[in-house]
A and B are shown apart, each in its own frame.
Chain A
Amino acid sequence: MFAYIVRRVLATIPVMAIVALFVFSLLYIAPGDPAAVIAGDQATPDDVERIRASLGLDRPYLVRFGAWVWDILRGDLGVSIFTNLPVSTMIQQRIEPTLSLMIVTLILAVSIAVPMGVVAAWRQGTWIDRAVMGFAVLGFSVPVFVVGYVLAYFFALEWDLLPVQGYTPFARGFWPWLENLILPSIALGSVYIALIARITRATMLEVLQQDYIRTARAKGLNQSGILFLHALKNAAVPIITVIGIGIALLIGGAVVTESVFAIPGLGRLTVDAILRRDYPVIQGVVLLFSFVYVLVNLAIDLAYTLFDPRIRY
């Protein structure tokens, strides 16, 4: 078990190395002078020269990469071209809203989607099932910012139930914090709910056909005991796997959701950085999100044993 954990953790290192190499190389894949690319169209030759120097373009590629990785390992993600602030500082300033948004969305989505999928599987072929599946297709099809605008229009503008935009730090109280996150979470969660509800339904359908479910029914268990104890525990591994994979959707969606709801998080930082071609910031954010994604999925891998005693490492 311990050996497995060590092996599994070590196995993520090459993945992270490739992510790092990829993110680092992005700048050099682009056609033309990377310094000029970063500097943008309105740059003076002076700007380009300054950027060239900061990138250390005179050194060999792998040496630059090594130096870059070494800096990252020490927590130094470089300096923003636009604000001249360290990227790590900028990320620190913006991380709370994004983290809050993602955690609230995660909790909301899982607690809605799993029961939805379970009920749809149980009532397969009925109008409930069709409604859930219909919702799932809609969730996949309506882009996050569209959901966001529709929700904000009705719940905030028309009915005045919730704040339209903005973010209140957690330090200012739970409810003010949550109030601002409800609509963004639903908007961001719509795809995620669709994804989880669908995999839950599909897995549950498979599990419900198993012989042990028949045994459970023959024992006289009631429907909820069968569904939520006997069946759901067996369906848990594929479901939590998809919950982990789907975090990529949350990360991508957060960038947009934060723009719609004017939440000053990492997503907004990314969008601003793109518009200013602030490449170190883009690299830093992409790298951070990717590492979080890899680590979350690693944690989920390691959690499999909690749900299925047959899995042995």
Chain B
Amino acid sequence: MALLEVDALQTHFRTPDGINRAVDGVSFHVNAGETLAIVGESGCGKSVTAMSILRLIPEPPGKIAGAIRFNGKNLLEASDKEMRAIRGNEISMIFQEPMTSLNPVLTVGRQIGETLRLHQGMSAQAAEDRAVEMLNLVGIPEAKRRVKEYPHQLSGGMRQRVMIAIALACNPKLLIADEPTTALDVTIQAQILDLMRDLKHRVGAAIVLITHDLGVVAEVAERVVVMYAGRKVEEAPVHALFNKPRHPYTQGLLGSVPKLGSSLTGEATRLAEIPGLVPSLKQKIPGCVFASRCAHATDLCTAVAPALEEKAPGHVAACHYALREGALAA
């Protein structure tokens, strides 16, 4: 049984000018100890998916439907109290903005210790001792002094390390990382990724990594889910995805990543871009959500939404033409 099973997840928001179908029928699973990446452009619903798993979506104006089974238990049917016992304890989350995700008026030690006191019933003193340990674990020097400091006294990278310390304090089974390195300098990004990989092995947590950065995906993920306009369009093991993308959108995404040295080899390759804009999620789209931007789209694509089909073992894509070899090779 998978650790986390997301089944036909729908997260919609009520807005004054219509229903925003931010996530509309997304299914995937995460096995224990595995790293799954969810990729897509901003606004494709990947962050909303992550927030939906922990039910952090404000309801109303949001509403979540489908099923999210964690260890076989449907989180959408759990009570608020049960959810609180899971959040930060069995499933924890790291956010994109380390500069603003920590509470500016509470000490770092208190913010780490808080989860321990809450979920493990530790005393204030024990929680602070453990907070020092956690800071050591995430590689923050002078941890004893740092626990008494406030977030504004730390750099961005340090703050993200603190966020990781908070997330891992209770040894969660699943860690959801929503763009954990996006806001950081490139050198710090690598450090944080290394740290996450290292800690994953030590703690044995599964990771759902939300990112738009395919470089990060290649580095840490085992399987990848590609999202577009609130749907899953492709899912594959990481190598299969990079070697043989089956969906034109994935192809486009890969094409827009600069390849190292390409400009040095003399090839005048332009960085490929995907023309057009993501369609409004407030309109119902009858056909393929990518049809409006797809170079291969036909009348069939705009009329009939393609089902997700297994194209190769563990490799599914939602495209009418993905079957035909060579059709997308152009």
Contact = CB atoms under 8 A, between A and B. Distances in A.
A219 B112 CA distance: 10
Contact of A220 (B86, B97, B100, B163): B86
A120 to B, nearest CB: 16
Interface string B47-90: 00000001010001000000000000000000000011111110
Interface stretch (B103-111, B216-224, B315-323): B103-111
A283 to B, nearest CB: 43
Interface residues of A, number: 21
A225 B115 CA distance: 12
B115 A220 contact: yes
B292 to A, nearest CB: 32
B54 A215 contact: no
Contacts of A218: 54, 56, 87-88, 92-93, 95
Contact of B114 (A125, A211, A219): A219
Interface in A190-246: 210-212, 214-222, 229-230, 233-234
Chain B CB within 10 Å, residue with most, of A210, A212, A218, A310 = A218
A49 interface: no
A222 to B, nearest CB: 6
Contact of A219 (B97, B104, B166): B166
B102 interface: yes
A310 B150 contact: yes
Nearest to B54: A218
Contact of B118 (A214, A215, A221, A233): A221
A222 B92 CA distance: 15
Contacts of A211: 95, 97, 100-101
Contacts, number: 73
B29 interface: no
A272 interface: no
Contacts of B54: 218
A233 B106 CA distance: 9
Contact of B105 (A215, A217, A220, A234): A234
Given A219-B115, A220-B84, A221-B114, A308 B163 contact: no
A307 interface: yes
Given A218-B56, A220-B85, A212 B100 contact: yes
A307 B105 contact: yes
A116 B106 CA distance: 24
Nearest to A219: B88
- Chain B: number of interface residues, binned into ranges: 20 to 34
Interface string B222-238: 00000000000000000
B207 to A, nearest CB: 15
Interface in B194-219: none
A218 B167 CA distance: 9
Contacts of B92: 218-219
Interface string A24-58: 00000000000000000000000000000000000
In the complex, which of the residues B86, B101, B152 has the most CB atoms of chain A within 10 Å of its own CB atom?
Answer: B101
B146 interface: no
Contacts of B150: 309-310
Question: Which of A125, A210, A220, A229 has its CB near the most chain B CB atoms (within 10 A)?
Answer: A220
Nearest to A232: B105
A286 to B, nearest CB: 38
A212 B87 contact: no
B103 to A, nearest CB: 4
Contacts of B106: 229-230, 233
A215 B103 contact: yes
B240 to A, nearest CB: 32
B119 interface: yes
A220 B89 contact: yes
Contact of A309 (B85, B102, B152, B163): B152
Contacts of A308: 104-105
12 contacts: A212-B102, A215-B93, A215-B95, A215-B103, A216-B103, A217-B56, A218-B54, A220-B86, A220-B118, A220-B119, A233-B105, A310-B105
Interface of B: 54, 56, 60, 83-89, 92-93, 95, 97, 100-106, 114-115, 118-119, 150, 152, 163, 166
Interface of A: 125, 210-212, 214-222, 229-230, 233-234, 307-310
Given A212-B104, A234-B105, 18 more contacts: A210-B100, A211-B97, A214-B56, A215-B95, A215-B102, A215-B166, A216-B103, A218-B87, A219-B88, A220-B83, A220-B84, A220-B119, A230-B103, A234-B103, A307-B105, A309-B104, A310-B105, A310-B152
